[in-house]
Amino acid sequence: ELARRIAAALGIAPASTAVGALAGGTAEPGGGALSVVGLGPGADAWRTPEASRALAEATDLVGYATYLDMAPARAGQARHASD
């Protein structure tokens, strides 16, 4: 259900086994990866190295606008804020 809702928010079709379109630009299984990362509240120092890496590598970030603003910005990365 979560993968389908995220895919709908991004305007893409979910892959049969995962939302492959997030990173790979296709709806083919294995075409990408979906990482679920807690963004806040809290200081950057509280974020795990794995979460920081996932944020740095992500092509798209989906989340609550206030928490997205707390995530480091990267050129070319799309942000999809909710209220």
Take residue 36 and report the two structure tokens written for it. 């679920």
Distance CA 29, CA 25 (A): 11
Instruction: For residue range 10-67, list pLDDT tens digits in order.
Output: 766 654 433 333 444 444 555 667 788 887 777 778 888 888 888 888 888 888 888 8
Take residue 25 and report the two structure tokens written for it. 């630009």
Show Cβ contacts of residue 80 under 8 Å, excluding neighbours closer than 6 positions.
9, 10, 60, 61, 62, 63
Q: State the pLDDT at residue 28.
A: 52
Distance CA 14, CA 32 (A): 11
Show Cβ contacts of residue 41 under 8 Å, excluding neighbours closer than 6 positions.
67, 70
Instruction: For residue range 57-70, list pLDDT tens digits in order.
Output: 888 888 888 888 88
**pTM: predicted TM-score of the whole model, two decimal places:** 0.59
